[in-house]
Amino acid sequence: MRNNKLIAYSLTGVLFIIGVVYCLVANSEYEDSKELDAMGIKGETAEKQFEATFFVSAAVANFILAALVIKSNRNVIPYLASAGISAGLIAIYIASRTVGVPVVGVEYYVGRLDLISKGFQAAAIVLSVIAIHNIRKFIALKEVA
Amino acid sequence: MKRKSIYSMMLGLAAISVILFSHGIVSYAQDNYSNATASVNTSILTSNSTLANNATSQSGNSTVQSIDAAIKSLNDGDKDAAKKLLLKAEESLEGKSDLVDAEKRVEASLAALKDGDINAAISHAEEAKKNLS
């Protein structure tokens, strides 16, 4: 169970970093929207505002998950949510670079922050799966004993 | 009590994100509506007048010129000038549904430029030009 504490702390750190990265991306999108708005490029301004809102929401979700994971005591739900949301965000990103997503369409550029966040999200999925496996193993052993 | 305050704080954060999210969708919908009206007006004008066709082609040429100048600025290392020229190209491509791919390439070039990736910025600008020709 000590091992699981370490995984919980690591996952909390990873989720917090993902949240910070999304805050940075949201700030960048917001700055872009202000610049485009000043130039009178309305359609693109609205798209950037939508993206900024989405990234703020993703950041908030990751901060909440980080808090839930650190508070979880042999509860698999925060880990399931972390893995699910991270997988969902990776799927949305892949769709946005290939087939396109509603409102935004297809984006062609793969940025540095994008790659960093996807790397950490993959790590969050791996850590969540290990934590869920450990908790289930612990519960099964407890039932046998 | 402590748990209660954490839950209320989280509820507050979720509410803020929902408000921000819905605001984004509403403003997008409003802009989409005005863009749709503008594009309908544009299509009526272009179908009725050959003069308008000439204007469109001239604007396409000016977009290509802006992108060409941006590529030159990027090669010269003048990022500010390149950014201004790419934004000008973006402005001229705004609302043209048949040139969405070129617009997205210009956006990608701007994003790469912001990231400091000059080679990617140039290659996306070249792609935008190809989509216009």
The per-residue pLDDT for range B27-60, each reduced to its tens digit, is 445 444 445 545 545 454 444 444 444 445 555 6
B15 touches chain A (CB under 8 A): no
Both tokens of residue B26? 């509403």
pLDDT at A103: 86
Confidence class for position B97, pLDDT limits 50, 70, 90? confident
Stronger pLDDT, B3 or A53, i.e. the higher one: A53
The residue ranges of every structural domain in chain B are 1-48, 50-133
Taking the model in full, what pTM does it have?
Answer: 0.74
Domain that holds residue A94: 2-144
Interface residues from chain A to B (CB-CB < 8 Å):
28, 32, 35-36, 39-47, 49-50, 52-54, 56-57, 60-61, 63-64, 67, 71, 103, 105-109, 111-112
Q: What is the ipTM of this complex?
A: 0.81
The total number of structural domains in chain A stands at 1
The per-residue pLDDT for range A74-94, each reduced to its tens digit, is 899 999 999 999 999 999 999
SS3 A101: strand
The architecture of the domain spanning B50-133 is Up-down Bundle (1.20)
Q: How many pairs of residues across A and B have Cβ atoms under 8 Å apart?
A: 91
Res. A21: pLDDT tops 80: yes
Nearest CB neighbour to A53, from listed B13, B23, B111:
B23
